[in-house]
Amino acid sequence: IIKIKLDNPIAKVQPNMWGVFFEDINFGADGGIYAELIKNRSFEFAKPLMGWSIQRKKANEGEILVVNRKEINTANPRYLQINNENGIFGITNEGFKGIGVKKGLRYDFSLMYRQLNPGIKLHLQLLSATNKVIGEGSLNPENNGSDWNKQTASFVATETDPKAKFSITFEGKGKIDLDMISLFPGNTWKGRKQGLRADMVQLLADMKPGFIRFPGGCIVEGTDLANRYQWKNTIGPIEDRKMLINRWNTEFAHRPAPDYYQSFGLGFFEYFQLAEDIGSDALPILNCGMACQFNTGEVVALDELDPYVQDALDLIEFANGDVNTKWGKKRAELGHPKPFNLKMMGVGNENWGPQYLERLAIFTKAIKAKYPDFKLINSSGTDPEGDRFNLLNTSLRENKADFIDEHYYRPADWFLKNAGRYDNYPRNDTKVFVGEYAVHADSKVLGSNRNNWQSALASASLMTGLERNADVVQMASYAPLFAHIDAWQWAPDMIWVDNLQSYGTPDYYVQKLFSTNKGTDVVSITLDDKNIIGQDGLYASSVLDKTKKELIIKIANNTDKSQNIDFELDGKTKLKTKGTVEELANSNLNQLNSFDNPGAVSPKVSSISLKGKKLNTSLKPYSFNVIKIPFN
Ligand code: AHR
């Protein structure tokens, strides 16, 4: 008999307990949630015409140059110069692994141009994979002179093709400079111009995540300091956001993608806006003056750390400052006079060692002096049980860290064995943020495996241990979040997308079941007076939701047999007689979700009845169950 004590909550659940981890990895941002369809729109990739090809209808009658003005424009040095004498020629963009085009959908084209005299007209065409025209429009540049202009044109697609291309043909005599050649679908999230892919944001919104951690991950650190993430380069007009090679482009990625760059079209303002849209807390992670220790291991000299610390202070002002402050004003100019109410930030991603502690101390002193209540997340490296982790943890706790960020990518049996990991953790002021975790069949072969039902069930089992210890583990996020099916560097991932569709893996449904049933107070659930961490393959936790007035029991059955379970619900809380069960189950632990079968592992809802204070249910083999009983 499993006993639940209803009347004596043992811990509070933080409203933001279950969140998401966002990184531009696996084409998560560029080529993913950032809905731009043109790859290398401003010609700043290492190879300036990567993604583009040139079509000449008459040989050599057109001229095309990539011009570099890096002395006067460091953020966006290159543009394209078209010098058309007589001929007709065109340029074609291949998109990010093709362009996803939907029949009947509007496409919004825009560009920046400069011309002394009019003369050249642009024909715009979406071409199917077999070169059929499946949407077309035109643009007649209206302004002349030496200044840059922006102009837009829209047209509707006539067919669907997940692997289309986009071509611009230049007609007429003359010279024109072009930059920021851009194409977006007309159905972006909230209809925002040059915004985000609505289907991907919707999957996040449906999870009701407590926070969004961004922008990473390793891209925060960079392979070296020159290539670290700098938030100030990611706000304001998109043509002024300085592109950067993506860390997952380089030799340090498991599957490097040579065409992976960060346009920062999704920048810090958009991250804050996204968090606000879906009701999540923003959780930015900043570089602590150290590049990735697995890569170059470069650190900034201690006496040159100031600009890094200043970036952190300025970010708080950008998010929260009054519109009369320098950075608060900037936020208002970007369209958000109201503060974003930022409460926390991470200093460093996976950093460790004395170098980390020295730099962290300087950040902490400066930030706490100005914002005493602001919470800081400290890194604990990458090894959740090694000496390095223990040493660093001891120091961070001695220094009264607000949060320590633990990461684990480990096999399923490690997750099961660690479901009791936090039962005996120190109960002092320092809290745990499990900032990245996922079951990897073989943690030494990252990027080699997909998350099947076994990984999700093991995650769910461990997560009951996080929830049971919600007084210590106050936040958690699965990682990574998104992956493009044709362009990933790391797997497993929570959500897979192609150019038109997206689906959640079994892990997505586990995460969603936790975050949408988080409750407010943990109550004790035991088998023979012990926490349920593996007896008969069961893992369980239980919470009350005092707002919705519900008892919520989460229980995983990790065996290949059905289990008949009796619950005894002790206490004066007046439970109603009918409840529901949301069940994730599959007898095949290797079961995957896919584009063809996105719901192979997805929740099924049924009803359940109580007899007095007793509840009986049968748990399917290999199942995770969320039982909800309302109370008065
Ligand atoms: O989630 C993928 C990577 O795993 C992150 O970028 C990094 O923090 C961790 O090593």
Residue 382 alpha carbon to ligand 1 centre in Å: 9
* Token pair for 625: 């169950």
Query: 52-185 adopts what CATH topology?
Result: Jelly Rolls (2.60.120)
State the closest ligand 1 atom to the C-alpha of 219, by its place in the atom list counted from 1.
6
Q: Where are the beta strands (DSSP E) in 99-200?
A: 99-101, 106-114, 121-127, 133-139, 149-156, 161-171, 174-185
Mutate which of 20, 389, 490 to test ligand 1's pocket (most atoms within 8 Å of Cβ)? 490
Residue 436 alpha carbon to ligand 1 centre in Å: 7
Residue 135 alpha carbon to ligand 1 centre in Å: 39
Residues 6 or more apart whose CB falls under 8 angstroms from that of 309 comprise: 362, 363, 366, 367
Distance CA 463, CA 473 (A): 10
- For the cut 90, the answer to whether the pLDDT of residue 129 exceeds it is yes
Own/partner long-range contacts of 355-361 (Cβ < 8 Å, ≥24 apart): 355/290, 355/299, 356/288, 356/290, 356/392, 357/392, 357/395, 357/396, 357/399, 358/302, 359/288, 359/289, 359/290, 359/299, 359/300, 359/302, 359/305, 359/308, 360/288, 361/399
* Token pair for 411: 């096999």
Q: Are 460 and 468 in contact (CB under 8 A)?
A: no
Mean pLDDT computed over 1-17 = 97
Specify the DSSP class assigned to residue 101. E
Catalytic residue annotation: 350
Q: Whose CA is nearest to atom 5 of ligand 1?
A: 217
List all residues whose CB is within 6 A of at least one atom of ligand 1: 23, 25, 216-218, 349-350, 382, 436, 479-480, 490
When pLDDT is cut at 50, 70 and 90, the band that residue 63 belongs to is confident
Instruction: Provide the angle, in degrees to the nearest 10, between the axes of the packed helices 268-277 and 198-207.
Output: 50
Strands 473-478, 18-21: pairing is parallel
Specify the DSSP class assigned to residue 188. B
Residue 129 alpha carbon to ligand 1 centre in Å: 34
Q: Are 624 and 460 in contact (CB under 8 A)?
A: yes
- CA-nearest of 478, 5, 474 to 213 is 478
State the closest ligand 1 atom to the C-alpha of 21, by its place in the atom list counted from 1.
1
Residue 217 alpha carbon to ligand 1 centre in Å: 5
State the closest ligand 1 atom to the C-alpha of 479, by its place in the atom list counted from 1.
1
Q: Whose CA is nearest to atom 9 of ligand 1?
A: 217
Instruction: Provide the angle, in degrees to the nearest 10, between the axes of the packed helices 306-320 and 268-277.
Output: 40
Residues 6 or more apart whose CB falls under 8 angstroms from that of 319 comprise: 272, 282, 331, 339, 340, 341, 342
SS3 610: strand
Mutate which of 379, 436, 448, 488 to test ligand 1's pocket (most atoms within 8 Å of Cβ)? 436
When pLDDT is cut at 50, 70 and 90, the band that residue 59 belongs to is very low
Which residues are registered as beta bridge partners of 79?
67
Which residues are registered as beta bridge partners of 124?
137, 168
Distance CA 105, CA 97 (A): 20
Tell me the DSSP string of 225-275. GGGS--GGGGSSSGGGSPPEE-GGGSTTSSS--TT-EE--SS-HHHHHHHH
Residue 387 alpha carbon to ligand 1 centre in Å: 20
Residues 6 or more apart whose CB falls under 8 angstroms from that of 298 comprise: 224, 225, 290, 291
State the closest ligand 1 atom to the C-alpha of 382, by its place in the atom list counted from 1.
10
Mean pLDDT computed over 591-614 = 96
Own/partner long-range contacts of 591-598 (Cβ < 8 Å, ≥24 apart): 591/452, 591/453, 591/506, 592/450, 592/451, 592/452, 592/453, 592/505, 592/506, 593/503, 593/504, 593/505, 593/506, 593/508, 594/503, 595/485, 595/496, 595/498, 595/501, 595/503, 598/503, 598/504
- Tell me the pTM: 0.97
Q: What pLDDT is attached to residue 57?
A: 62
Residues in the chain: 632
State how far Cα 565 lies from the chain centre: 38
Q: What pLDDT is attached to residue 448?
A: 54
The alpha carbons of the chain give a radius of gyration, in whole angstroms, of: 26
pLDDT digits (tens, 9 = 90+) for 72-89: 999 999 999 998 876 678
State the closest ligand 1 atom to the C-alpha of 407, by its place in the atom list counted from 1.
9
Q: What pLDDT is attached to residue 250?
A: 85
pLDDT digits (tens, 9 = 90+) for 606-624: 999 999 999 999 999 999 9
191 dihedral zone (left: phi>0; alpha: psi -120 to 50; beta): left
Neighbour-count burial of 159, counting CB atoms closer than 10 A to its CB (0-12 exposed, 13-18 middle, 19+ buried): middle
- For the cut 60, the answer to whether the pLDDT of residue 589 exceeds it is yes
Mutate which of 290, 382, 407 to test ligand 1's pocket (most atoms within 8 Å of Cβ)? 407
Q: Whose CA is nearest to atom 2 of ligand 1?
A: 480
Query: 2-12+522-630 adopts what CATH topology?
Result: Immunoglobulin-like (2.60.40)
Q: Are 263 and 238 in contact (CB under 8 A)?
A: yes
- Of the chain, the percentage scoring pLDDT greater than 70 comes to 97
Residue 234 alpha carbon to ligand 1 centre in Å: 21
Q: What pLDDT is attached to residue 294?
A: 87
Phi then psi for 204, rounded to 5 degrees?
-70, -45
* Token pair for 376: 């800081």
SS3 189: helix
* Tokens 């072969």 sit on residue: 445
Distance CA 417, CA 410 (A): 11
Q: Whose CA is nearest to atom 6 of ligand 1?
A: 217
Residues 6 or more apart whose CB falls under 8 angstroms from that of 435 comprise: 21, 213, 346, 377, 405, 406, 407, 475, 476, 477, 479
pLDDT digits (tens, 9 = 90+) for 387-407: 999 999 999 999 999 999 999
Distance CA 150, CA 35 (A): 19
Distance CA 438, CA 445 (A): 13
Mean pLDDT computed over 134-140 = 98
Mean pLDDT computed over 228-253 = 95
Q: Are 189 and 177 in contact (CB under 8 A)?
A: no
- For the cut 70, the answer to whether the pLDDT of residue 307 exceeds it is yes
Which residues are registered as beta bridge partners of 125?
136, 167
Specify the DSSP class assigned to residue 605. E
When pLDDT is cut at 50, 70 and 90, the band that residue 58 belongs to is low
**What is the residue-averaged pLDDT of the chain?**
95
Mutate which of 22, 214, 218, 379 to test ligand 1's pocket (most atoms within 8 Å of Cβ)? 218
Distance CA 430, CA 54 (A): 58
Q: Whose CA is nearest to atom 4 of ligand 1?
A: 217
State the closest ligand 1 atom to the C-alpha of 23, by its place in the atom list counted from 1.
6
When pLDDT is cut at 50, 70 and 90, the band that residue 331 belongs to is very high
* Cα-based distances in Å from 165 to 255, 413, 449, 483: 25, 45, 31, 21
State the closest ligand 1 atom to the C-alpha of 349, by its place in the atom list counted from 1.
8
Distance CA 593, CA 453 (A): 9
Residue 35 alpha carbon to ligand 1 centre in Å: 23
Residue 437 alpha carbon to ligand 1 centre in Å: 9
Domain spanning 18-35+189-515: CATH superfamily: Glycosidases (3.20.20.80)
Domain ranges for the chain, please list them: 2-12+522-630, 18-35+189-515, 52-185
Please give the angle made by the CA atoms of 186, 188 and 193, to the nearest 5 degrees.
75
Q: Whose CA is nearest to atom 8 of ligand 1?
A: 217
The answer to which of 357-371, 376-390, 563-577 has the lowest mean pLDDT is: 376-390
Distance CA 63, CA 67 (A): 12
554 dihedral zone (left: phi>0; alpha: psi -120 to 50; beta): beta
